[in-house]
Amino acid sequence: MEVVDAIAAAIQTPGVHLLHRTSDWDHNRSVLTVAGEPEAVLAGLFQAVRVAAERIDLRQQRGVHPRLGATDVVPLVPIDGISLDECALLARHLGQRIGDELGLPVYLYEAAATRPDRRNLADVRAGEYERLVEEIHLPQRQPDCGPAAVGPAGAVIVGARPFLIAFNVFLKSSDVAIAKRIARTIRESSGGLRAVKALGLLVDGQAQVSMNLVDFQITPPHLAVAVIEREARLLGVEIDRSELIGLIPQAALLAAAAHALRLPALSSNRVVEMAFQQAIDTGIPDPL
């Protein structure tokens, strides 16, 4: 935790706001979520990558979550006033700077990818740090930025993607087969809901449908929950509760609330606190 604290301190350069932070012991992995203006965020991310490379030695590091380096992956996500393409451009700038100034190999992924076979994060990370050490000299493993050489800090995967909602639904069942069956029904790869990745797991003895909603504008979480509820009922099971991992965008929140309230639409300017914030942001400066 001392190392993660040092990285969390480094990432908070002026104008960078740390929104969320989690560390998982079994995964031996920490996730920091920051937001701010693009230039500030790039500066903070660079500092975090620098400190992680100084403090984490991949020859020692073990955990159940796959990783390619001390900073495993840096996804830039558009929130407000910026497009995915602009984030992809920023990701390439950041990758270049990490390669040039820190001497780390960098792979660009998703919207920032330079090659189709590097769009998918899991493909880029295949074999993890240990195989990269052996293969980085191969033409197909040539990094997008930085040297074709792996030190103790490994490589960094940098890219841009839409906001991803990590969302789990627990069933009132200890039968993992039901969770797996529902996951197969709802995930895009087996013909289910678009932009949904899903797995059936057994977590603390309870069946869980674990999801990544990779584009909530296409399939919002409330729709995924409604479909899981219907499928579960067909299998004679009920939803117990859900679990949100990390953060959810306001637009997904508004859509879920509109669904519960049966409103055709619900915009942020109908919410007192949001309307107030918008009035402050767009109005004349408050003299108080």
CB of 137 to a second copy, least distance (A): 41
CB of 18 to a second copy, least distance (A): 7
End-to-end CA distance of the chain: 41
CB of 116 to a second copy, least distance (A): 30
Q: Which is nearer to a second copy, 36 or 69 (CB)?
A: 36
Output DSSP code: residue 217.
Answer: T
Sheet holding 156-160, edge to edge: 73-76, 156-160, 106-110
Q: Give the residues lining the site for a second copy (CB under 8 A).
A: 14-15, 17-20, 35-37, 40, 79-80, 163, 167, 169, 221-222, 225, 229, 239, 241-244, 246-250, 253-254, 256-257, 259-264, 266, 269-277, 279-280, 283, 286-288
- Per-residue DSSP letters for 146-196? S-S---TTB-EEEEE----EEEEEEES-S-HHHHHHHHHHHSGGGTSSTTE
Characterize the bridge pairing of strands 165-171 and 206-213. antiparallel
Q: Which is nearer to a second copy, 30 or 268 (CB)?
A: 268
CB of 188 to a second copy, least distance (A): 20
Q: Which is nearer to a second copy, 81 or 116 (CB)?
A: 81
Q: Which is nearer to a second copy, 149 or 280 (CB)?
A: 280
Considering 17, 65, 222, 259, which one is annotated as catalytic? 65
For residue 32, give every residue at least 6 positions away whose Cβ sits within 8 Å of its Cβ, in sequence order, or none.
Answer: 7, 8, 11, 18, 20, 21, 48
Contact (Cβ atoms closer than 8 angstroms) between residue 248 and residue 178: no
For residue 136, give every residue at least 6 positions away whose Cβ sits within 8 Å of its Cβ, in sequence order, or none.
Answer: 105, 142, 143, 148, 149, 150, 155
* Dist CA 7 CA 159 (whole Å): 20
For residue 68, give every residue at least 6 positions away whose Cβ sits within 8 Å of its Cβ, in sequence order, or none.
Answer: 107, 124, 125, 128, 129, 132, 154, 155, 156, 157
93 is catalytic: no
Q: Which is nearer to a second copy, 184 or 222 (CB)?
A: 222
Contact (Cβ atoms closer than 8 angstroms) between residue 10 and residue 47: yes
Q: Which is nearer to a second copy, 17 or 230 (CB)?
A: 17
CB of 285 to a second copy, least distance (A): 9
CB of 277 to a second copy, least distance (A): 6
> Which residues are catalytically annotated?
65
